Each structure stands twice: as C-alpha cells, then as structure tokens.
Amino acid sequence: MHILYKKLPIGLCYFEIFKDKSEARQREKSLKALSCARLSSLIKSKSGTGFSCHKEGEKTVICLKNGVYNLTGAILVKGENIEIRGDKGTIIQGCAKIDGWIDEGNGVFSASTEYDADALYINGEKYQMARFPKYNPSIKIFGGFSRDVLSKVKAQEWKNPYGAYIHAMHLHNWGGYSYEVTGKDEDGNLTYIGGWQNNRQMGMHSDFKYIENVREEMTEPGEWYFDKKNKRVYAILKSGHDLNTAE
C-alpha cells in the first residue's frame, strides 16, 4: 500500500491510495504537470510526529500522530473507503506561525508572511482587526456601526485604505454585503468592489456598516492590521504578551 500525494497548481491537494509503489509511480508519470510533494510538506507540524497508514479490513486509515499540525492548504482525499483520523491529543488547525517580528516603535510590531492573513492569535487570544468604529461587544449590530464609513471626510484620515473591508447591512436589513476597498478616487472617495452576497441589490444601509483592516485605526493594544500589498502583519501587543515566547 502506498500513498501518492499531489499538490495542484490551484492550491488544492489530494491523496490516492495504491497497492504498491510501482502503481503509484505510473500514476505519477501520467500527472507530470502536477508538482509532487510528501504529506509532511503540506502539514507543517509544530510538535507532531508525522503520520502512518494502515488497513482495517477494506478501509484504508491515514492516522496523524499525536501533536499539533498547521495546514497550509486544502486537502482533497480521493479514493474508496479512506479515513483520516488523529491520535488522542492530535490537533489540526488552519493557521501558520509568524516569526521574525520587528519592533516598529510606539508599541507596534510587524512581521512578513507568505499568506493573506484574516485573523491573528497570540498566546491563544484573538486580536481585533483594526476597524472603524471600534468594536464594542455591547452593540448588537456588528459590534458597532457608523454612517461615516463612506464619508469623504473620514477617508481623508486613511492614507492608503487598499485591502480594507466594508461590511454593511442591506438597505432594509435583508441580509448584508461585504466589499473589498481598492483605494480612493481622484476626489478622495473610497473605491471598492464586491457586494455580490445578496440577491436583492438595493444598496447598503445608511447607518449599519463598518470598515476593518485600516492601518490608521490600529491605535489600541490587542489590535492588528494586514498590509495586503506587502504581505506584512502589524500589531499592538496586549500587556504580558512577548513575541519571543508567544505561540
């Protein structure tokens, strides 16, 4: 029994189960356009000890051994009667550790990453993506909202809002919309794309909206921002968090 692992150009991955290596190699030759790698190149273990494969009757079992594994891509398992399981204590998480943090001054630290970051956890605590208005858990709608999100005056405070996200309720609160900010036009108004999430295209609610991932809105400990163009994460650390020892 042999596992052939393939990483597709579009970023997906899959496994095929073969009876022997020769059969797997023949399959590999027929897929020359695909880049080959081992399972361990996709699952970057922080403390895990790898994986094993065995048969249980007609079923093939791929077992991740005890530890923490960070997935760096999607996995598609192809075949019949295949099961992926973990030992007791095995944790699979869709994240990547960020190293090489630099002190930018004024409590701000930054580090580069090869991935598009949409969440940041330090020592198991989730940091708040820098947003306007500030997040307030006591406010039911979005944790805070403002009609000034699309204000030209407010946009003047943001040097380069590229990569920010606008989230808004539907005009009549029938669901909502999300948009990605592409920059500002010659008049200083925000430009953005998106809003395809709702089939009743009647526009954004005049009040119920907020914007996140704006560099200038990162002002308090526990907030972070992702520079999409340069793939760099910025954060203001919470009290007691040390990036030299943080997980």
Q: What is the pLDDT of residues 74-122, one digit of tens each?
A: 665 666 677 777 777 787 777 778 889 999 999 999 999 988 899 999 9
Side by side, which strands form the sheet with 74-77?
35-36, 2-7, 12-18, 74-77
Q: pLDDT tens digit string along 132-183?
A: 999 999 999 999 999 999 999 999 999 999 999 999 999 999 999 999 999 9
**pTM of the shown model:** 0.72
For 42-99, the DSSP string reads HEEESS---EEEEEETTEEEEEEPSSEEEE-SEEEE-SSSEEEEE-TT-EEES-----
C-alpha pair distances (Å), 61 with each of 21, 77, 201, 219, 242: 17, 12, 48, 49, 40
User: Going by DSSP bridges, is the β-strand pair 12-18/74-77 parallel, antiparallel, or unpaired?
Assistant: parallel
Angle in degrees, CA 216, 221, 224, rounded to 5: 50
